[in-house]
């Protein structure tokens, strides 16, 4: 039985990961800045009759709180086997519409939140000589995704962080994977730029996103992909198939990939003029 921590576990991908883990018989600590949401998820998971779940409020931008929680889980259970640094927010808007507040919030949550999780979990796992860190990035961390470049920049950083750490950790018994999904049907899409200056993409951007990617993937299907990738110790877990095709296209012809992204930018600018 593995002991796991999932950040951003109150909804979306985090909730689906926690559900998959408990379904496998694992003990999961569901964390989220939304304490009530995390508690409701844990309560529901404990009705599955398989693994166990507890809930903790956690702000991933608070490095000390992250370290305290991760160390506490290790002390209580004797090990920390799986860590899913998954919490994140969506930022949308053209570069000229964005403020430094958008950039800083993206960096604080999407990048530094992962850094804090890695910084807390990695020493514990090195001491154990085992463990698996799984960081949630995005297909936006592999392709030139415009109209939200603070998000894109942080997700590229998470990919680089994860692959570099994987190389360091390989000889020490610790595994590292990074998840790069295409658009997934989660509350993230309906809460763009939360508590930040508004842009035309703020709020519910789901319908706009569906124009670019009509086949939104479900969090439950992604969680299955993630569990399979963790089992196989994949470096990059890219899903679904059309996401892998886009990633392949970028590698084969980066210039063409940027031109495709320009089409989306032109469409957004044309819509804003009307």
Active site residues: 151
| SS3 annotation, 127-181 | HHCCEEEEEECCHHHCCCCCCCHHHHHHHHHHHHHHHHHHHHHHHHCEEEEEEEE
Q: How far apart are CA 145 and CA 268, in angstroms?
A: 13
Q: How far apart are CA 256 and CA 140, in angstroms?
A: 16
Q: How far apart are CA 54 and CA 65, in angstroms?
A: 17
The H or E element that residue 54 is part of is: strand 52-57
Selection from 192, 93, 170, 94 nearest residue 125 by Cα: 170
Task: Check if the beta carbon of residue 119 is closer than 8 Å to that of residue 71.
Answer: no
Task: Check if the beta carbon of residue 31 is closer than 8 Å to that of residue 9.
Answer: yes
The H or E element that residue 3 is part of is: strand 3-6
Q: Tokens 């009705």 belong to which residue?
A: 47
Task: Check if the beta carbon of residue 92 is closer than 8 Å to that of residue 147.
Answer: yes
Q: What Cα–Cα distance (Å) separates residue 65 from each residue in 35, 39, 81?
A: 14, 18, 19
């Amino acid at each position: 039985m593995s002991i796991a921590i999932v950040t951003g576990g109150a909804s979306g991908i985090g909730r689906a990961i926690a559900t998959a883990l408990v379904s496998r018989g694992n003990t999961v600590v569901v964390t989220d800045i939304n304490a009530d949401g995390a508690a409701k998820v844990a309560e529901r998971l404990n009705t599955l009759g398989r693994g166990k779940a507890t809930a903790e409020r956690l702000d991933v931008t608070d490095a000390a709180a992250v370290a305290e929680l991760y160390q506490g889980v290790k002390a209580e259970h004797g090990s920390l086997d799986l860590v899913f640094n998954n919490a994140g927010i969506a930022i949308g808007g053209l570069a000229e519409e964005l403020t430094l507040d958008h950039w800083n919030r993206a960096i604080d949550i999407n990048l530094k939140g992962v850094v804090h999780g890695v910084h807390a979990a990695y020493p514990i796992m090195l001491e154990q000589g085992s463990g698996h860190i799984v960081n949630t990035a995005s297909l936006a961390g592999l392709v030139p995704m415009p109209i939200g470049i603070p998000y894109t920049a942080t997700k590229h950083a998470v990919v680089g962080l994860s692959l570099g750490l994987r190389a360091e950790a390989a000889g020490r018994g610790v595994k590292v994977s990074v998840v790069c999904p295409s658009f997934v049907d989660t509350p993230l899409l309906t809460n763009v730029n939360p508590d930040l200056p508004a842009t035309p993409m703020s709020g519910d951007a789901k319908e706009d996103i569906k124009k670019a990617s009509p086949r939104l993937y479900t969090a439950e299907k992604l969680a299955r992909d993630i569990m399979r990738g963790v089992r196989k110790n994949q470096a990059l877990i890219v899903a679904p198939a059309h996401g892998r095709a886009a990633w392949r296209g970028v590698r084969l012809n980066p210039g063409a990939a940027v031109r495709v992204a320009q089409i989306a930018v032109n469409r957004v600018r044309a819509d804003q003029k009307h």
